[in-house]
Structure 1
Amino acid sequence: MEAAIARLDGAIGRLDTSLEHLRARMRTLTRIEVDTRQLINERAKLASDLDKASARAKRLDDSAHEVSRRLVEAMETVRAVLAK
């Protein structure tokens, strides 16, 4: 009887150890899941910011081309007036 109780105590001890290891892995997994969600949210924000910055850069580039075109026109007008 004592041997059976000792074996049962040993088995319960191993089960407790296994459960503690499982709990530790579950806590780690939960932390990883939280970190992953944060990274996904951060990535979405960065992608949105990049889209906005790209759109602004395109508008600035378009404006620069328009200013350049107008400057060329103005210089041509000045040349024409000076040539008269």
Structure 2
Amino acid sequence: MSMDQLEDGVEAASARFDRALARLDTSVKKFNARIGELHRMEVDTQRLVSERAKLASELDKASARAKRLDDSAHDVSRRLVEAMETVRDVLAK
């Protein structure tokens, strides 16, 4: 093998190596971008989970308040009926 052939082989190997490094660099950049996107999705997911828990708690509180209001309305209605019956009885005498 002559010196020129050896130099050509080294140059070809060096060019292949440079192309491989460029492909590796591109792959690493794409991988890092995917990792960054995954991290953003994880942060968003945690925020949504937290928000959901907060909304669920607020819904529970609102439901409990609505139940108390419904119970109070029922009690007021019952008392009004009793008062009307008492007034009828008084007027009937």
- Fold agreement, TM-score > 0.5: yes
Partner of 2:63: 54
Bigger radius of gyration among the two: 2
| Aligned-pair Cα RMSD in Å | 0.4
C-alpha distance in structure 2 between counterparts of 1:10 and 1:71, whole Å: 89
Partner of 1:19: 28
TM-score normalized by structure 1? 0.98
C-alpha distance in structure 1 between counterparts of 2:22 and 2:83, whole Å: 90
TM-score normalized by structure 2? 0.89
Unaligned runs of 5+ in 1: none
Partner of 1:79: 88
Unaligned runs of 5+ in 2: 1-9
Identity across the alignment (%): 73
C-alpha distance in structure 1 between counterparts of 2:92 and 2:55, whole Å: 55
Number of equivalent positions: 84
Offset of residue 36 of structure 1: 0.4
